[in-house]
Amino acid sequence: MKPFKRILVPTDFSEYSVNATLVALDLAQRYDGTVTLVHVSNPLALGMADGFAASADAREELREECERQLETARTNAQKASSVSVEARLLTGEAAITICEFARRGFDLIVMPTHGRSGVASVLMGSVAEQVMRLAPCPVLTIRLASHTKTG
């Protein structure tokens, strides 16, 4: 089995993402690897729900906020482990952009899943599901323990 030296962790800054990051850090420590956090922003979709494209100022504000949150996530991950942690802000459609970035030599994608099913999954789609279908490497999806069914 090839060791997981370069691990990619897509984040949406939720507690689900924090949990996935902790799993990735543990794996990276075991394999003497590195972790790269990525957040995919789609500024073109900002404001489209109202039928209006976002202004350049609104897109720039979104980019700056995403960069702040991503740096906070990177700093927190770095504090939690001795593993090297990098962060990248990407732009585009989430699943496709994650998979394209993973082609840069990543050995594993560790990503959160919110565990939606039924109508919510059909209406909203599942980024994790799309990544699993398109990824150039193995994908490990992580759910919060409090959201798993027992019994």
Domain definitions of the chain by residue range: 6-147
In this prediction the pTM is 0.85
Report the range out of 26-35, 109-118, 137-146 with the highest average pLDDT: 26-35
148 pLDDT band, cuts 50/70/90, is: very low
Given the structure tokens 């902790």, which residue do they identify?
A: 22
**6-147 sits in which CATH class?**
alpha beta
d(CA 56, CA 67): 16
pLDDT score, position 44: 67
43 pLDDT band, cuts 50/70/90, is: low
- What is the tens place of the pLDDT at every residue in 21-40? 999 999 999 999 999 999 99
pLDDT score, position 1: 65
Q: Which of 137, 150, 58 is nearest to 98 (CA)?
A: 137
Check whether 150 has a pLDDT greater than 50: no
Least confident of 58-62, 71-75, 121-125, 129-133: 121-125
For 6, the token pair is 């370069």
Q: Which of 33, 54, 32 is nearest to 109 (CA)?
A: 33
State percent of the chain over pLDDT 70: 79
Across 105-120, average pLDDT: 77
Q: Which of 74, 75, 46 is nearest to 59 (CA)?
A: 46
- What is the tens place of the pLDDT at every residue in 50-85? 545 567 777 788 889 999 999 999 999 999 999 999
